[in-house]
Each structure stands twice: as C-alpha cells, then as structure tokens.
Amino acid sequence: MAQQDDGGSNAAAGSAVVKSEAPVPSPGTAVVASDAFENPGLPPHRLRVTDLDPRKDRVAERRVYTLFYLSIVGSIFAVAAYVAFPIIPGNSASVRLNTLFLGLGIALGLLGIGIGAIYWSKNLMRGDEMSESRHPTRGSEATRARAVEIFKEGNEESGFGRRSLIRNSLIGALVATPLPAIVLFRDLAPAADPVPLLKETMWREGTRLTKDPSGVPIKASDVTLGSVFHVIPEGLNDKEDRLEEKAKAAVLLMRLRPEDLKVSPGRESWNYNGIVAYSKICTHVGCPVALYEQQTHHLLCPCHSSTFDVTNECKVIFGPAKRPLPQLPIAVDSEGYLIAQSDFHEPVGPSFWERS
C-alpha cells in the first residue's frame, strides 16, 4: 500500500502545473537625469564695425542701395533685351542671344534684391540675438500692444523709415522685378486677335479637297460607298504655318447611301450624292476624330470616346462632346473634283465657342 501511495503521489507530482508570478511591469524607460544640463544663455553681444564707426555705417548703407539700384537696372535690362534680341523662328542664334541676355537681366534683378537685403540685415539692422518664450497664438492685449511697439522699434532699428534712400531703392527694385515676367507672359498671347484667327479656316469657295498628307485632289468618283478619306485643303502643304492651318481645317470625307442621311432644312445641297465632309477636330477638347465605324456610320474620338452619328449630321450620341462636328458644304467642279462651297458655317473644335 505504501508503495502504491508513493507511485500515486509521484504521478500527481508529474502532472502538476507550476504557476509563476507575473512579471512586474516596468514603470517606463524615461530617465530624469539628476544633473540637468544648464541653459548656457546667449553669448555676449559683439558690436560690429558699423555699430562703432558712423563712416562704415554710411559705406554699408551706400552698398545696400547700390545693390537695389543694380536690381532695377537688371530688370529694365531684361525687358530691353527681350525687345532688342527677339526670337526669330528657325534661327537658333537668336534663341541663344534672347535667352542669354534675358537670363542675365533677371538674374541681376533678383540677386540685387537678395544680396542687398542680406547685407542690410547683417550690417545695419540691430544685430544682437534675442530669445522669445512660447505662448498661445493670440496674446493678451498687453502682448499685442507690445507687438506693435516691437514693430515700431524694428522700423526704428532697421532704419526703414529713416534711411529713405535704402527704402525707396528697395521699393523701386521690388516694383521693377516683376516687369520681365509681365512682358514675357504678355508675349505668350497670339500677336493677332485670336477670335478671327481660330474661327476661320483655310476653306474657301472652290478650294479642292485633297488627300492628307499627299495633297492629291480627290474626284467624287474616287469616293466609293463606305470609304473614308482624311482630307486637307488644296495648297495647305505650301503654307508656312501649315501645321496651324491643318489643326483647324482637317476634314473627314465619307460616302453613304443618300437615303441613309438625315438632312435638316438649308443643308440639302451640302452633300454630293451621299458624300459628306465633317471637321475632324473633336468638339470636346480638340483631338482628331479618326475612327470610322463603317457598319454603324459612327465616328469615334479616341481621346474620351465621344461618338458622332454621321447619318444624323454628326450629332453627339455618346461621350463628353457637347455639339456636333461642323459640316463642310461640298460640291463638284467641272472636272469632277470635290470642292468646298465655303468655309465651315460654325467654329471648329472645342465647344467653348458656344459659351463665348
């Protein structure tokens, strides 16, 4: 029995779970040093030569306003250089000269103000360091009154009110510095009035429709049912500004069965035996509408998927475009070539014209 009891108690001891005490959490890792570093305070103020010698003070003042005047000269030089060295299209030397002198003028204008301001603050404005303790954003009335006082003191110490030559030359430099930017940005606008420039295209009465890009005139008999041609006006390739003109005058030419076309009153003579011509410039934001679905007679703009129905005067049936593609009235001359009857009857391209 004694042996059995021993065996039983051993087994009980083998399966017993030993519970250990939970570790006491650390109170944290922060350590407060007993010997905190003492604020050494600000170093003693050292007077500058301009504080000690009135003659040096005047020399420094002269340097500052000279720098501001140099800035004015630089800005005016930049404007003059922009006019005197214009960019001539196709002449890379003119681009180099224009960029060089314009850049030099603007650099002088900006550096004059920057260096002058730094020199002024380093040599003439009050030079001792001050510390300011943190406080809530809005100070008390007393603090605010003190702030006004400080501004007045700052004005007094910097000499902004007193040193009239520096102040006036700085104001002059600040007024003159943006001048080159105004001249540059003004010159980005087209030289001519943009409204007629964008509203009119090269198409005139009798202008032949030619293939893009070869410029070969198109006969009505060449345009078979279901075919599509990319078209430019005759003579476009001889023009100096042919890309600008092409961007307005590009046309798509298609032939449908006349009975498939819905023609509104006044437009009966604008097609020739089912051959129709529409502007290729999308009325959304001006991408070329270049995809023609022959079966559905839909024109698709690849940019934002505006879809125009050729059977229904290119009205918009899908997408963000807001108005139909303008139609070019066409006819046939005595030799059988397709010609324009006139320019488009409405502006081509983006719909902002509707709102202007």
- The nearest distance, CB 302 to ligand FES, in angstroms, is 8
Q: Which residues are CB-contacts of 34 (< 8 A; sequence separation ≥ 6)?
A: none
Lay out the sheet containing 307-309: strands in order across.
291-293, 298-300, 307-309, 315-318
Binding test (CB under 6 A) with ligand FES, winner from 59, 303, 317, 331: 303
Among 287, 290, 291, 317, binds ligand FES (CB under 6 A): 287
Nearer to ligand FES, 163 or 280 (CB): 280
Cβ 275 vs Cβ 329: under 8 Å? no
- Name which of 215 and 288 has its Cβ closer to ligand FES: 288
Distance CA 224, CA 270 (A): 18
The window from 30-38, 81-89, 164-172, 315-323 that contacts ligand FES (CB under 6 A) reads 315-323
**Calpha distance 127→49 (Å, rounded):** 11
Identify which of residues 75 and 306 has a Cβ nearer to ligand FES in the complex.
Answer: 306
Binding ligand FES by CB under 6 A: which of 282, 310, 338, 348?
A: 282
To the nearest 10 degrees (0 to 180), the angle between helices 54-84 and 179-186 is 10
Question: Cβ closer to ligand FES: 277 or 299?
Answer: 299
- Residue closest to 183 by CA, chosen among 78, 71, 69: 78
Residues 235-274, mask of contacts with ligand FES (x by CB under 6 A): ----------------------------------------
Alpha helices in the chain (DSSP H): 2-15, 49-52, 54-84, 92-123, 141-158, 164-176, 179-186, 194-199, 242-249, 352-355
Among 123, 169, 201, 306, binds ligand FES (CB under 6 A): 306
Strands 209-211 and 291-293: unpaired
275-279 and 298-300 strand pairing: unpaired
Query: Which residue, 235 or 319, has its beta carbon nearer to ligand FES?
Result: 319
315-318 and 307-309 as β-strands: parallel, antiparallel, unpaired?
Answer: antiparallel
Least spacing, CB of residue 223 vs ligand FES, in Å: 25
Closest distance between ligand FES and the C-beta of residue 228, in Å?
Answer: 17
Reading the block at residue 47, the tokens are 């007077």
The gap between the terminal CA atoms of the chain, to the nearest Å, is 114
**Residue 111 CB neighbour total at 10 angstroms:** 14
Q: Does 324 bind ligand FES (CB under 6 A)?
A: no
Q: Specify the residue for token string 């301001």.
A: 117
In angstroms, what CA-CA distances link 167 with 9, 161, 212, 351?
Answer: 102, 7, 64, 51
The DSSP output letter for 86 is P
Nearer to ligand FES (CB atom), residue 56 or residue 322: 322
> Which of residues 64, 250, 321, 339 is near ligand FES by CB under 6 A?
321
Instruction: Give 215 or 319: the residue with its C-beta nearer to ligand FES.
Output: 319
Q: What are the CA-CA distances from residue 343 to residues 230, 336, 350 (Å)? A: 17, 20, 17
Of 319, 323, 331, 332, the residue at the interface with ligand FES (CB under 6 A) is 319
Find the part of the chain contacting ligand FES (CB under 6 A) among 40-48, 94-102, 129-137, 314-322.
314-322
Among 235, 320, 341, 346, binds ligand FES (CB under 6 A): 320
In eight-state DSSP terms, residue 162 is: T
Stretch that binds ligand FES, among 37-45, 69-77, 303-311, 334-342 (CB under 6 A): 303-311
State in angstroms the smallest separation of the CB of 72 from ligand FES: 47
Residue range at the interface with ligand FES (CB under 6 A); choices 31-39, 105-113, 263-271, 316-324: 316-324
Stretch that binds ligand FES, among 7-15, 134-142, 173-181, 284-292 (CB under 6 A): 284-292
CA 75 to chain CA centroid, Å, is 24
Rounded to the nearest whole angstrom, what is the least distance from the CB of residue 300 to ligand FES in the complex? 9
3-state secondary structure 136-161: CCCCCHHHHHHHHHHHHHHHHHHCCC
Q: Can you give the binding site for ligand FES, defined by CB under 6 A?
A: 282, 284-285, 287, 301, 303-304, 306, 319-321
